[in-house]
């Protein structure tokens, strides 16, 4: 399988980063970047990444099972991640997560019927001093109140 020319370039470059014969080092970055382009880690992606890194598909599978950001099923177009770890919890992270469930009508690791949104209650994302925090895709949002959350979601709904 082929990826976009930009990603092919990135992968070719990536494989030069490791000592000779240790190209398996590229495995996790390749899975992350391929997932961003394809939408999820499909069996085709597993086989392709295995081939390029010189490992078996089983060795790729065992890695996918370990890392929480690697997904075998597609997420929503906008993956909403709400932190409820200690710093966020103290300033309303849990209430924000409950609000997010209601607003989106889905629970932890679920996707809306139209495929637009998915929701995940996540662990500390490194925004503790600006809590409560969420990430939509890779974008951080700080000091998120239920009102601000609604504005963010409503704005994304309008884009569709």
Partner 1 sequence: MLYNAPHPLEVKVLTRRFGLENSASIDTYLATDGYKALGKALDMTPDDIINEVKASNLRGRGGAGFPTGMKWSFVPRNVDKPKYIVVNADESEPGTCKDRLLIENDPHQLIEGVLIAALAVGASKGWIYIRGEYRYLIDIMDKALAEAYARGYLGQNILGRGFNFELYTQTGAGAYECGEESALLESLEGKRGVPRIRPPFPAVSGAFQSPTILNNVETFCAVPAILRDGGPAFSNLGVPKNGGTRMFCLSGHLNVTGVYELPMGFPLMKMINEIGGGVRGGRKLKAVIPGGSSCPILKAEECDLPMDYDSLMKAKSMLGSGGVVVMDEQTDMVKAALRIMHFYQHESCGWCIPCREGTTWLKKLLTRLDAGRGTIGDVNLVGDLARNMLGRTFCPLGDAAAMPTISIVEKFRDEFEAKLANYTAPRAQSSQFVVV
Query: What does the binding site for partner 1 look like in residue numbers (CB under 8 A)?
Result: 17-19, 22, 24-29, 31-33, 53, 55, 62-63, 65-70, 84-87, 89-91, 123-131, 135, 138-140, 142
Residue placing its CB nearer to partner 1 in the complex, 18 or 73: 18
Q: Minimum CB separation from partner 1 for residue 92, in Å? A: 11
Find, among 2, 1, 57, 64, the residue nearest to 32 by Cα. 64
Find, among 150, 151, 125, the residue nearest to 137 by Cα. 125
Neighbouring CB atoms inside 10 A of 145's CB total 13
Q: Minimum CB separation from partner 1 for residue 87, in Å? A: 4
Residue placing its CB nearer to partner 1 in the complex, 111 or 131: 131
Residue placing its CB nearer to partner 1 in the complex, 67 or 114: 67
Residue identified by tokens 């000592």 is: 19
Collapsing DSSP to helix, strand or coil, 105 comes out as: coil
Residue identified by tokens 């997932």 is: 35
Q: Minimum CB separation from partner 1 for residue 6, in Å? A: 13
Q: Minimum CB separation from partner 1 for residue 106, in Å? A: 20
Residue placing its CB nearer to partner 1 in the complex, 43 or 126: 126
Cα distances from 153 to residues 21, 38, 85, 138, in angstroms, run 46, 24, 22, 15
The Cα 21–Cα 15 span in angstroms is 10
The Cα 14–Cα 16 span in angstroms is 5
Q: Minimum CB separation from partner 1 for residue 36, in Å? A: 8
Residue placing its CB nearer to partner 1 in the complex, 24 or 103: 24
């Amino acid at each position: 399988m082929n990826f976009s020319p930009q990603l092919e370039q990135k992968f070719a470059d990536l494989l030069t980063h490791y000592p000779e014969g240790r190209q398996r080092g590229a495995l996790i970055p390749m899975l992350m970047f391929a997932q961003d382009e394809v939408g999820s880690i499909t069996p085709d992606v597993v086989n392709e990444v295995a081939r390029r890194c010189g490992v078996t598909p089983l060795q790729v599978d065992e890695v996918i099972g370990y890392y929480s950001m690697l997904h075998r099923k597609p997420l929503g177009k906008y993956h909403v991640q709400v932190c409820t770890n200690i710093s966020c919890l103290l300033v309303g992270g849990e209430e924000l997560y409950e609000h997010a469930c209601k607003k989106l009508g889905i629970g932890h690791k679920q996707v809306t019927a139209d495929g637009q949104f998915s929701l995940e209650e996540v662990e500390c994302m490194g925004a503790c001093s600006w809590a409560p925090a969420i990430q939509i895709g890779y974008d951080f949002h700080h000091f998120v109140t239920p009102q601000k959350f609604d504005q963010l979601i409503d704005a994304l709904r309008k884009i569709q």
